[in-house]
Amino acid sequence: GDANGIGAQVDYEIVGIEPGAGLMELTNTALKDYELDDWTLLEGSSAAMVAQLQKAITNQEPIIITGWSPHWMFSSFDLKYLDDPKGSFGGAEDIHTVVRKGLEQDAPGAYRILDQFSWEPSDMEVVMVDITDGMDPSEAAEKWINANPDKVSEWTKGAQSGNGERIKLVYVAWDTEIASTNVIGKVLEQNGYKVTLSQVEVGPMFAGVANGSADAMVGAWLPTTHAEYYNTYKNDIVDLGRNLHGTKNGLVVPEYVDIDSVEDLK
């Protein structure tokens, strides 16, 4: 089948992101759920995926990518999620803050700030758009912090200042996590901590917090996207709950691609 010819037009290829990303697992699940045996999910990186998307749009060519929100690509391009009637990609989910065991005792102020960190997709988008437009991530973070003193003071409320203790934050180079990690890192810094941001792969991100070589991460997508990592490490980490609500995962195409549902790939 493939009445619309979309499979042939894109060589039965879906442009994916980093191997190990939750979204890659979800897409493989979707390929099974919808019996899309002819299709291949290409591994790559988030940056390469966006570059290919950009090129396809410039040439008005069909393309299917693995996409997620919040992401600046939705404000830069006319895109649509393909409907997912089987629910392979899960529903809207949350992003959680996860810290190492013992952080509360070792750096109570940092722990409290991390625990109180919470913002909206629209906040995160402001930071992401500035970074995409070429601003340095730490500058974009500082700009957002300066523009949102009320939100930031909710995070720091009641937190004692640090005395230069080191806090190591781990993150993956996803646009969402570049934004959130830079913002919370800067807030911790402004409150007396010496912060390092360390960019890693998704497995080592969870493993690092679990084995104590990292102090915290603010990019655990739950309950679906990172379920496997979470379940592997749940006894060795401290889950501080959600810092953002309303993410989404799925297959995404430019508006001009004439399909509406994952079922149309069959």
Q: Would you tell me which residues interact with ligand PBE (CB under 6 A)? A: 17, 21-23, 68, 174, 176, 202, 221, 225, 249
Sign of the dihedral through C-alpha 176, 181, 183, 184: positive
Question: In the complex with ligand PBE, which residue's Cβ is closer, 162 or 219?
Answer: 219
Shortest Cβ distance from residue 219 to ligand PBE (Å)?
6
CB atoms within 10 A of CB 35: 10
Question: In the complex with ligand PBE, which residue's Cβ is closer, 116 or 176?
Answer: 176
Which of 52, 97, 29 is CA-nearest to residue 244? 97
Question: In the complex with ligand PBE, which residue's Cβ is closer, 159 or 209?
Answer: 209
CB 205 within 8 A of CB 219: yes
Listed in sequence order, the DSSP H helices in the chain are 6-9, 22-33, 46-58, 73-76, 103-106, 108-116, 121-132, 137-147, 149-156, 175-190, 202-211, 227-233
Question: In the complex with ligand PBE, which residue's Cβ is closer, 18 or 130?
Answer: 18
Shortest Cβ distance from residue 237 to ligand PBE (Å)?
16
Q: What is d(CA 98, CA 230) in angstroms, rounded to the nearest whole number?
A: 10
Which of 211, 144, 147 is CA-nearest to residue 180? 144
Q: Which residue has the tokens 């919808």?
A: 34
Shortest Cβ distance from residue 117 to ligand PBE (Å)?
16
Question: In the complex with ligand PBE, which residue's Cβ is closer, 41 or 152?
Answer: 41
Tokens of 24: 């890659």
Shortest Cβ distance from residue 180 to ligand PBE (Å)?
10
Residue 43: DSSP 8-state: P
Question: In the complex with ligand PBE, which residue's Cβ is closer, 17 or 209?
Answer: 17
Shortest Cβ distance from residue 23 to ligand PBE (Å)?
3
Instruction: Report the alpha-carbon angle 24-25-30, nearest 5.
Output: 95
Q: Which residue has the tokens 């493993």?
A: 207
Shortest Cβ distance from residue 175 to ligand PBE (Å)?
8
